[in-house]
Amino acid sequence: MSVGVTRLVGRTDELRTLARTLTATRDGGGRAVFLVGEPGIGKSRLVAAARDLAAAVGTVVLHGRSGVVGPAIPLRPLREALLSVTGVLPPDDLTALGPYRPALARLVPDWAVVDPPGNPPDHDLLALAEGVLRLTGLAGRDRGSLLVLEDLHDADGGTLAVLDYLVDNVGRQPTTLLGTLRAEAGPALDLVRAAARRGACRLVELGPLDPDDVRRLAGARLDAHPDELPQPALDLLWAGSGGNPGSAEDTLDELVGAGVLRSTPTGWRVGRGDADGPAALPALTRPVDRLDPPERESLLLGATIGPVFPLAVLRQATGRSHREIHDDLGDATAARFVRPDGPEPDRYRFVHPLLAGALLARLEPAERRRLARRAADAVTAAHPGLPGPHCRTAADLWLRAGDPAAAGHLLAEAGRRAVDQGAAGEAVDLLDRARDLLADADAVRRATVLETLIRALTEAGAVDRALGHAAALADLADQLDPRHRARLHTALAWAATTAGLTGDAARHVDLARALLGPDATAPDTAPVDVVAAHLTAGSGGADHVTRAEAAARQAETAAVAAGLPAVAWRAGLLLGELTRPRDPAEATAHLNRAWSVAVRQHVPVWEIHSLVRLGDDDALRTGDLERLERAHRTAARAGAQHARHEAETRLALHAVLQGQFAAADLLTERVLTAASRHRLPRAARYALLLRATAAAHQGRHRAMTDALIEFRRHGGDADRYASWIHGLARVFAALLREDRPRASHESHRATRADREHPTVCPIAGRHGLDLLLRALTGADDDAHAPDQAGRLRWNEQFRLFARAVRQGRAGRGDEATDAVRQALRVAAPYPVARHLGLRLVGEAALTDGWGEPAEWLRAAEDHFHGSDVPAVAAACRSLLRRAGSRPLQRRAGVEEIPAALRVAGVTPREYEVLLLLAGRLSNREIADRLHLSARTVEKHVASLIAKTGQPDRIAVGRLAATGVPPGAAAQV
């Protein structure tokens, strides 16, 4: 899209000066004004504005300028000025010039009376100057004249001699002399400054526009509102122009032409521009040409380092002091080409990243490579060990310096650090680049990069891609020793294990063991053993937990002895999971030990995984989710997708247990989406189990069944997860349908499955809910004896409810009631389980005659009614009637009844009568208002008196103000 012509922007004071001068000229007093400034600063625009002002009031304009194209023409600006009015001067005016007409004929031959002499002597210039002065007076005798002489810095000596005379004498007549010249040393500037010092002229020095004026200039040229233009484009415009309007226009044209600034249906937007855009934008870097060589070198080295560059590297690359570097960047900063990056001027940044590329595009390729080598050496020297981002910076510089091998080594190291930090996606990108650059490196180096890449892909959740690198391993097989190949197969086995691809995992474990051979040492086999232990733990076979625990302990012992922290860490996490059902305290100790390994080794991604497990441990023991939520946020922020998904599945489970079903659905859907995208069957199966459990805890039996069908369709093993399916899902679905026989059956199946095929899920019933159900049926065995897993908060609430049932049945009502109170405190985070416990215990208390069954059943009824679980709510209401307590009304309009009156059993129709009683209406009047019979109203009034305990209808009417009968607050 083309850009338009720019009107005069800014220069308000200068334009006002010219307007006042022209006004004074018309009043008879002449004046000389000179505009001085660099090229493009706006001298010609002000001249054009002055001419417009003059033309508007009829002032005669004489205009000429010095030329630099072709042979020099003596007195050129004066010739052009006189020739510009030859057609409008009447013959009488020429006659009035008298003896000065021959002198002017030197400039305008048509005015000659006789042939002009060949080469007049210098003193004839005085006659010429007076003639020009008189001619401008004659031309403007009615409305004044404006004599414009432009580009006087290129004027010849004769012109300057005439100009000197005009400046001193133009005040005698109604003439404004307006001259322009550059701020360059020379005779013209000397003449003007001398005249200004003696008060013979007005000198106007034009400086750069300010940023707001540049914004307005761009808006005018692009035909857009200035405030709608993108700031990055304005930064570029300022950097390329320094406030010079002419340069700003050139830069703006280039930005539009290169596609950096694009017109869209929603306005002007900054785009990336063409691939070769920086090379096609010389206007952007024109200010650099004005810098001294040291300043230019510093700027070029900064551009080589990047859009943001540290002074420490520049000092190392140039050998100059901190002060000298600051001085080098001073002019570029003043021109707003670069600026300090932050409050402390230790780093600078280009005002736009495109500027660095545009600067380098001016250089020859060999020069760019030389600068890149200097910068790479400087970065390495300034930052020993290349910590943090310096490693990637140095790699990029070596690549631009033409050394791909050096760049590849550094990118591989940066990728290793990134995966350790948990930045898995970033690590994958770095390691992919490193592999390409090291394609010709030795096999050991390539295999090391491949192993790190597999780790990164595993942490990124891209297990498919990780396993796809098995082909690359085959290509390297003949060039690697068996131990190194075994390491790569172990990495692939771990990737498959995290995804739940047990077949792939087992195959790579077998290959690794075959490569190591039967005589392998414990340090060699420990990495494989700990992966195999994870596989065994998830197999679901007979004694799989015992075998997995033994293998993990063996691997941990070997790892500690051989100094293999990664193996010790993985073994500790697994032992924490495996020992929790038996001894939660031991499990916590294992997890803390794994976390300590991560901290000592300074591997943040291990710390994140450890914190996920420890946060889950907190939630199981105390119900506190703070550490687990913090670990989830840390994993998401770092980009550790595997750890993030692990945290999300655990958070989803605890959200279900704590009745936060919307949050659980969101987390489960997120895990399912990731599992589908990256082929993670283990995560998908776990998420579907969570979906089924959430549905069961909401009484949505069909949704639970559908989720379990999907679970099996995704390869879920119903036998392996039997304790979960029956003890955490189906049993709750049955209880919320008031199907007690089915609930007992499901609980029995869960308990039997857990005993026959132990799992690492300690809250599926055997240690908790099953105790309560057995207590309700009167089963008398040792199942209620407290164990370690029963101390987990979810289990403990049911253990306490079960104790209350047994104590109450034994006639120890006070102990039973106290056990219920303890259970309610423990069950505070778990609303569904808490109120289900109240419903079950309330019935037992009602039957055995202890505790506060009405209060407990009413709380349960209110919860399940609000949760849309009608079967349990109806059962609670039935039990309340059996207890002789009126259940709360649940018909339409009941919400409007004050709570105290609802508890008293007041119906919506009775409440309407009560409100009318407050107005002292009779039964007949109330009947007419409500379209009832007087007899019906009489019955409602009698019922109200009985339910509220008031002495008469007037006292009942007074309840309309508060809804609380006297003494009711104490009862409630």
pLDDT tens figures, 237-248: 877 777 888 878
Report residue 756's pLDDT band, with 50, 70 and 90 as the boundaries: confident
Assess whether pLDDT exceeds 90 at residue 150. Answer: yes
Distance CA 565, CA 600 (A): 9
518-549 pLDDT, tens digit each: 999 999 999 999 999 999 988 766 688 889 99
389-429 pLDDT, tens digit each: 999 999 999 999 999 999 999 999 999 999 999 999 999 99
Assess whether pLDDT exceeds 60 at residue 277. Answer: no
792-832 pLDDT, tens digit each: 999 999 999 999 999 999 999 999 999 999 999 999 999 99
Measured in degrees and rounded to the nearest 5, phi and psi for residue 269 equal: -135, 150
Assess whether pLDDT exceeds 50 at residue 971. Answer: no
Residues in Cβ contact with 835 at an 8 Å cutoff, skipping those fewer than 6 apart: 859, 860, 863, 864
The dihedral region occupied by 491, where left means phi > 0, alpha psi between -120 and 50, and beta the remainder, is alpha
Q: What is the pLDDT of residue 774?
A: 93
Q: Give CA separation, 371 vs 303, 391, 404, 532, in Å.
A: 10, 18, 16, 52
The pTM of this model reads 0.70
Q: Which contiguous run of DSSP H or E holds residue 573?
A: helix 565-579
Report residue 117's pLDDT band, with 50, 70 and 90 as the boundaries: very low
838-881 pLDDT, tens digit each: 999 999 999 999 999 999 999 999 999 989 898 999 899 889 98
**Cβ-based burial of 96 (10 A; exposed 0-12, middle 13-18, buried ≥19):** middle
Report residue 780's pLDDT band, with 50, 70 and 90 as the boundaries: low
Q: Which of 218, 211, 251 is nearest to 336 (CA)?
A: 211
Q: How is the chain split into domains, by residue range?
A: 12-205, 211-290, 718-882, 894-971
Report residue 68's pLDDT band, with 50, 70 and 90 as the boundaries: low
Distance CA 546, CA 310 (A): 57
**Cβ-based burial of 171 (10 A; exposed 0-12, middle 13-18, buried ≥19):** middle
**Cβ-based burial of 849 (10 A; exposed 0-12, middle 13-18, buried ≥19):** exposed
- Fold type of domain 12-205: Rossmann fold (3.40.50)
CATH class of 894-971: mainly alpha
For residue 517, the SS3 value is coil
Report residue 447's pLDDT band, with 50, 70 and 90 as the boundaries: very high
Distance CA 877, CA 868 (A): 14
DSSP state of 71: S
**Residue 176 contacts residue 167 (beta carbons within 8 Å):** no
Q: What is the 3-state secondary structure (H, E, C) of 736-752?
A: CCCCHHHHHHHHHHHHH
Report residue 970's pLDDT band, with 50, 70 and 90 as the boundaries: very low
Q: What is the pLDDT of residue 648?
A: 95
**Residue 141 contacts residue 174 (beta carbons within 8 Å):** yes
Distance CA 554, CA 567 (A): 11
The neighbouring-strand residues paired with 62 are 147
For residue 764, the SS3 value is coil
602-650 pLDDT, tens digit each: 999 999 999 999 999 999 999 999 999 999 999 999 999 999 999 999 9
Q: What is the pLDDT of residue 331?
A: 79
Q: Which contiguous run of DSSP H or E holds residue 102?
A: helix 101-105
Q: What is the 3-state secondary structure (H, E, C) of 249-291?
A: HHHHHHHHHCCCEEEECCEEEECCCCCCCHHHCHHHHHHHHHC
Least confident span in 709-713, 787-791, 839-843 = 787-791
Q: Which of 403, 412, 406 is nearest to 433 (CA)?
A: 412
**Residue 86 contacts residue 93 (beta carbons within 8 Å):** no
**Cβ-based burial of 175 (10 A; exposed 0-12, middle 13-18, buried ≥19):** buried
Computed over every residue of the chain, the mean pLDDT equals: 87
Least confident span in 486-490, 550-554, 765-769 = 765-769
Q: Which of 658, 719, 720 is nearest to 693 (CA)?
A: 658
For residue 868, the SS3 value is coil
**Residue 577 contacts residue 620 (beta carbons within 8 Å):** no
Angle at 954 between CA 948 and CA 956, to 5 degrees: 20
